[in-house]
Structure formats: structure tokens, C-alpha cells
Structure 1
Amino acid sequence: MARESVDWVHALGLIDSRHRLHRLRRADPAGLAGRACPDGPADGLRLLTDLISWLFVMDDACDEDGLGADPARLAPVIGLLLDVLDRGGDPAGQLPPGSGPLGVALDDLCRRIRAQGRPSLLLRFVSQVREYLLALLWESANRERRRVPEVAEYVQMRRHTGGVHPSLTLTDLASADPLGPAGCADPALATLDLLAVDLVCWCNDVFSYGKESRAAPDVHNLVTVIAQETGAGEADALQAAADRFNQGLAAYQLAEEALRASGGDDIQAALTSRRDWVRATYDWSVAAARYA
């Protein structure tokens, strides 16, 4: 699966140097996908792996290659990617001129999702990736102005910059027992999704903080915004971020137990996949070299 996804990245031009290929391999997108969706079919797992690879490439272009430091430079890229999303993977349509490898790869993901015959999940995916892209512009504006957001604002926007929502959607798509549209629209499941997304993102922030603090510090980390808002030192801010994660995990467990008790058989697989994502993020963060 890892080799196939690397071949996909190469074939579509997402990686153009040994350095970037090495960086993607260290991120181990296949390892994360496999932990998060351990029982998924090969084609579903491959689609999830390719999405995670695309997200890593996009994030690295913004965070490490300088694209996200200048909103005027990032905005045209985001605009083209939004045009790609608006096509919804239509196999008869033409890509917008200048879409580039990121646009070609995103269109390929949308086409493959569309071919699964689950239009509600395609629409959900498109909406979630759109929110992710627009949130990258928020990050870019903060970098340009050297602005550190308040904790509440950061927590809200981090739910979108993490790219977790579309990853959960493709995990649902890979499920042998997928939820129908009514189940996906369940407010209780939507609340659980927010808790799961927070946990994944906060876990990522705690593990990535050491690497980020050694390089040019980025304001987009839970530890950083807590330190800025409270005046806490680094150690206290790290502890506060860990405490927030632990409190969120306790809330998640209560919400999950309530849904398992009250929900039907059709929701059990969705609950398991969200639990898998939380655990997978922790285990992958420990094992992968992305934050070394």
C-alpha cells in the first residue's frame, strides 16, 4: 500500500525532489491509514492513504516550503483547488487551467470517491476539504501579521486545518457497514466527531511542538496559543495542552458510551472507526519520524 501510494504521488507530480520524497516517507501516510482503518478493503485503504499523502504534501508546502507564509501567493492556489472541488470529480469535465499537481491529485481523489456511488459522502468530502483549504488562508494571514490567535479561536479553526474531517469521511466510505445519510446527520454523532477531531489535532500539536519550537516557531500549535494567552512557561503550557487532551478524552468516552447504548447496529462501525482514529494518531505519532 505504501509503495502504491508513493507511485501515485510520483505519477501525478506531487513530489519533485528527493528531499520532499524523503519527507513524505518519514510521515508514513500508509502507516497512519492502516492504523486508522485496520479492517478496510484494499481499495478503501488505498484511497485513504492517498488522501493523507495529499494532505501531508499540501501542509508541507504551506508550513515548510513557504507557500503558507504569503496569503497573496497562497490565495490563487486555493482558488484553483476550490474550482477543482466544485467539479465534484465529474469524469466528463475539464480541469481548470493551471490546476497543477495538487489540483490533478485532488480531482483524482474526487473521481474515485464519485465512482463509489455514494453521492452524500462525496458532497460531505468536498465540503470538508473546502473548509480545510479556507482555513489554510486563515493560517497564512496570521503568519503574515505575526498574529497569535486566542485559544478559543484556535481550537475552532484547528478542527479544519487538521484535515481530519475528510479523513473520517473516507474511513466511513471504506467501512463494510457504512452509515446511511440519516446516520451521518445524527447530531449526537456530529458532536462525537468534533470531540474526535479535537483529540486527533491536539495529540498532533503536543507531539509536533518539539520539532516546531526548534525551527522558526509557528503560532499554530495548541501549546503556543495557551502560552501566549495565559503567560505560562513552556513546560506549563505543554502540561495544560496535555490536560486539555485528557479532559477531551474523558468527554469523548462518555459521549461514545451513550451512543453505543442508544444507537442501533448501524452506528457501531462508525463509533469504532472514530475510536481507531484517536488511538491511531497517538500510536503513529510515537512511531513515525515526522516529528523527530
Structure 2
Amino acid sequence: MPDPGLSPARSSLPEAAARFGAYVLADAAARARDVQAATGGPAPVPAAPAASTPLAPPAPLAPPAAPASPAPLPVDVTVPGAGTSGADLGRLLRGPSGLGTASLRLVPRAEPPVPVDPTVTPTPTPGIPIPGLYFHPVPEPDPVRVEEVSRRIKAWALDEVDLYPDDWEEQFDGFSVGRYMVACHPDAPTVDHLMLATRLMVAENAVDDCYCEDHGGSPVGLGERLLLAHTALDPLHTTQEYQPPWAESLRSDAPRRAYRSAMEYFLREAGASQADRFRHDMARLHMGYLAEAAWAQQDRVPEVWEYLAMRQFNNFRPCPTITDTVGGYELPADLHAQPAMQRVIALASNATTIVNDLYSYTKELASPGRHLNLPVVIAERESRSDREAYLKAVEVHNELMRDFETEAAALAAACPVPTALRFLRGVAAWVDGNHYWHQTNTYRYSLPDFW
């Protein structure tokens, strides 16, 4: 019998999409049958949810109990001006702009002409974008939502988790996290959903600052601190005798309190696979922290490729990867795990992190000690001037961005499942919002004089 040879290579994305579509239809039919059997009549149409009171603070940590279905996140209180207008909906449907993004949009992109009123002087966007950097401008984030998120996150930081002392208040305000998260999540249905991302962002920065960087951080003993902090996200399952000291350890310092509280809020909305995905990405982040700490202890500048490998772990990935939870929907685990989706997420996260390297360059040069960032590593390892190294880092970012958009467009064409398309648009929106925040945060960042 002749050897049939290898089967033709094919993508598993269409198969995964078909399985998901069949699952959705079967699940909907089963739910309808269950309702009909229980009531003796047709399945009822759900009523519109009523406005709710704000979220209560997380309950005190208790020993693990039998798992229960998480309560759905309450519908947000009405925020004037925070609804999705026709213009906002059109912008969301159009999706991102730029090379390779046409198939990420649900309708053809057609920018309407903007009427100009000669009597009105427009308010300029603060900050100067890096010359030559490939990015997409975004509209100014909704000021009402920005104000509400900023108010809530400060109350959480001060009153719920006692995150920082009084003399850090200016730095906390200067971080402008409300503007950051509103810009990055334009499709969040409510402020409550935006707060899921905002608390996690603030908690992650507290760990970075207090364990690794500016506020008492050190590479010495970092692994132990990160491991214990990670148990606030991925709980310890131990004996009754040793559970209380672990629970007490989560209250022992600000970063762990912040991780624990932010994660408890997140679990009220996230599905099981979304929560596990986030824990995995945070473990990636912590592993990246440890690689950078090892270089600091060795007083070693890595090769450029080694630095980029570290930055694929020590990067923003936990933020865009929760875009579906913040958007109030779920990308199925089977689609999230596809290699093509993982590549898109990795490229987006790598590009956004190089944006941080570029905008924080002068800030880090002015800080004590040697801070590794892509321009510094390129200058050292490729014997380039500071200017040449910085401009080379801009080129690296631009290539990553264009690869992200090309791969995302190909994935959207291969897997046109609505949740996958929305997730890809959400990641693209996060990439654009991240650049907007870095460009406009003149409290933290300024550009080098290389042009």
C-alpha cells in the first residue's frame, strides 16, 4: 500500500469558530428548553436591568469555601454623557485605522468631514508624539467618565486598601489613570466595568514601584515578594492550620492588599477562563520582572534580542488581554488559545511596551542607577550613539505595530466570529489608547532632544 504522506497543513481557526458557533446555538436551545420545562410556557424575555447601587468593598478574606456562582456585576449607575452616542458607535464599528486593519472593521471606513468653526479655538491635545512613531490618534476620552473613574479609584486606593502615604498623592494624581483606562477601553459598557481594569492597573503599578522600582524596590529577594503577592491573584490551597497566616500575609503590605482587592472585584465579572487567563499573564509579568532583576544583580546589559525576550513577559499584556471582561463579553478559551490569537496579543503587547520605553526614556535617565530600556540596550550592544539607538528603537516599535495589524487582519478574515472580531478591535483600541496616554501625560514624560 503506498504511503499516503502527510496530511495537508491547515489552520484550526475555522474549526474552532465552527465549534464555538455550534456551542452557542446548542446552549441557547438548551436554556430555552429548561425555561419552558420549568414554567410550562415559552422562555421569558429578560427585563431591562435596573440601576444599582455602587459595588460594596470586598468582604474580609476568609478560609476557602465551596465554590459558588459569582454574582453578576451590577449595572452601572447612570453617568451623564457616558452612553454610546451614534458617533461613538460609528467609531467603534469602524475600528482601528492603519495598514492591515481594513478587515477589523464592520463597516467601510469613511471619515466624515469635520466642520470648522473659525470663532472657536480647539483645545490642543497635550504632549508631542514621538516624530516618526507609527500610531493612531484617538478621540479625547469622555471627560465625565474620566472624572468618575478618577474619583472612584482614588477612594479605593485611600479608603479600601490604604495603598499609599499622603506624600505620594501628587504622583498618584499625576498618573492620570482614569484618563488612561477610559482611552484604552472605549467599548466598556459601564464605569463599573472600567473600574475592573483601573484597579488592576493601579495594583500592578504598586507592585512594580514598591517591589522593583522607585519606592523601595530591589532585585534582592524579589522572587519571594512576587511569589507571595501572586497568591493574592492565584489563591493558596493549603491546610486549615496554615491558611490563617497566609491570609494575614495578604494584608501585610500595600501591594498585596491592592492585588487581593482588585482581583476580588475582577472575579465578580470575569468568567473562569478569563480569570485563569489573567493569572497566567500576571505570572508571565512576574517572570519578566525576575529576568530584569537578575541583570541588575549581575550588573549586565543583555543582548538586544534578550532584552526583547524579557519585554515579551515584562510588558502590558495583562491589560489588553482583559479587554473582553471590561467590555462585558467573553472571548471563548478555545479561540483565545489559538496560536494566531496568541501571536496577535503578543505583538500588540510588545509594541505598547516599547512605547513605554520610548516615552519614559528621559525620565529613566534622570533616575538614580541604570534603568534598562530598548534605546539604552541598543546603544550599549550595537555601539550606537544615544540618538541613533533611540531612532532604531522607534523602527523596532513600528515593525512590531505593522506586524500586529497585519496578523490581526489575517486572523479576522480567517475567524470571523463576532466575539473574536470584537476582541481584536478591543486590543487595537487598547494599543491606541496606551499611546495616547503616554503622549499626553506630560506630568510623567518628556521627549529627548533628538530632532
Out of 268, 284, 287, the residue aligned to residue 437 of structure 2 is 284
Matched with 1:137 is: 290
Q: Does 1:35 align with 2:183?
A: yes
Higher helix share: 1
Task: Classify the secondary structure of the residue corresponding to 2:162.
Answer: coil
Out of 342, 361, 380, the residue aligned to residue 209 of structure 1 is 361
Q: Which runs of 5+ in 1 are unaligned?
A: none
Kept in 1: contact 2:274–2:330 (CA 8 A) = no
Q: Does 1:188 align with 2:340?
A: yes
Matched with 1:243 is: 395
Matched with 1:98 is: 249
Report how far residue 82 of structure 1 moved.
2.6
Report how far residue 245 of structure 1 moved.
0.9
The CA distance in 2 between the partners of 1:88 and 1:261, in whole Å, is 42
Shift of the 88–201 alpha-carbon distance from structure 1 to 2, 3 Å rule, reads farther
Kept in 2: contact 1:285–1:291 (CA 8 A) = yes
Shift of the 218–152 alpha-carbon distance from structure 1 to 2, 3 Å rule, reads same
| Cα displacement string for residues 109-155 of structure 1 (whole angstroms, at most 9, x for unaligned residues) | 22222222500011111121122223222222222222111111111
Kept in 2: contact 1:175–1:269 (CA 8 A) = no
The CA distance in 2 between the partners of 1:273 and 1:255, in whole Å, is 15
| Cα displacement string for residues 32-79 of structure 1 (whole angstroms, at most 9, x for unaligned residues) | 1111101202222001011111122222222212313x322x333223
Equivalences for residues 154-169 of structure 1 within 5 A:
154-162=307-315, 164-169=316-321
Q: Given residue 431 of structure 2, which amino acid in structure 1 is its aligned partner?
A: V
Task: Classify the secondary structure of the residue corresponding to 1:166.
Answer: coil
Task: Classify the secondary structure of the residue corresponding to 1:255.
Answer: helix
The CA distance in 1 between the partners of 2:409 and 2:321, in whole Å, is 21
When the two structures are superposed, what TM-score results if normalisation uses the length of structure 1?
A: 0.91
Q: Does 1:66 align with 2:216?
A: yes
The CA distance in 2 between the partners of 1:152 and 1:38, in whole Å, is 34
Kept in 1: contact 2:358–2:390 (CA 8 A) = yes
The CA distance in 1 between the partners of 2:287 and 2:214, in whole Å, is 19
Matched with 1:232 is: 384
Equivalences for residues 9-48 of structure 1 within 5 A:
9-11=157-159, 12-18=161-167, 20-40=168-188, 41-48=190-197
Out of 226, 229, 234, the residue aligned to residue 81 of structure 1 is 229
The CA distance in 1 between the partners of 2:236 and 2:415, in whole Å, is 32
Equivalences for residues 235-274 of structure 1 within 5 A:
235-264=387-416, 265-274=418-427
Out of 206, 221, 224, the residue aligned to residue 57 of structure 1 is 206
Task: Classify the secondary structure of the residue corresponding to 2:312.
Answer: helix
CA radius of gyration, larger in: 2
Matched with 1:123 is: 276
When the two structures are superposed, what TM-score results if normalisation uses the length of structure 2?
A: 0.60
Q: Given residue 166 of structure 1, which amino acid in structure 2 is its aligned partner?
A: P
Out of 327, 338, 351, the residue aligned to residue 175 of structure 1 is 327
Q: Given residue 209 of structure 2, which amino acid in structure 1 is its aligned partner?
A: D
Task: Classify the secondary structure of the residue corresponding to 1:53.
Answer: helix
Shift of the 242–166 alpha-carbon distance from structure 1 to 2, 3 Å rule, reads same
The CA distance in 2 between the partners of 1:117 and 1:237, in whole Å, is 41
The CA distance in 2 between the partners of 1:208 and 1:77, in whole Å, is 25
Shift of the 82–28 alpha-carbon distance from structure 1 to 2, 3 Å rule, reads same
Task: Classify the secondary structure of the residue corresponding to 1:84.
Answer: coil
Report how far residue 233 of structure 1 moved.
0.6
Task: Classify the secondary structure of the residue corresponding to 1:13.
Answer: coil
Mean Cα deviation higher: 170-179 or 94-103? 94-103
Report how far residue 88 of structure 1 moved.
7.7
Kept in 1: contact 2:203–2:262 (CA 8 A) = no
Mean Cα deviation higher: 9-18 or 170-179? 170-179
Kept in 1: contact 2:379–2:386 (CA 8 A) = yes
Report how far residue 236 of structure 1 moved.
0.2
Kept in 2: contact 1:206–1:223 (CA 8 A) = yes
Q: Say how many residue pairs are matched.
A: 286
Report how far residue 29 of structure 1 moved.
1.4
Report how far residue 283 of structure 1 moved.
0.9
Alpha carbon RMSD of aligned pairs, Å?
2.1
Report how far residue 203 of structure 1 moved.
0.6
Kept in 2: contact 1:83–1:96 (CA 8 A) = no
Q: Which runs of 5+ in 2 are unaligned?
A: 1-148, 238-242, 447-451
Shift of the 107–88 alpha-carbon distance from structure 1 to 2, 3 Å rule, reads farther
Percent identical:
24
Q: Given residue 215 of structure 2, which amino acid in structure 1 is its aligned partner?
A: D
The CA distance in 2 between the partners of 1:132 and 1:78, in whole Å, is 10
The CA distance in 1 between the partners of 2:431 and 2:301, in whole Å, is 27
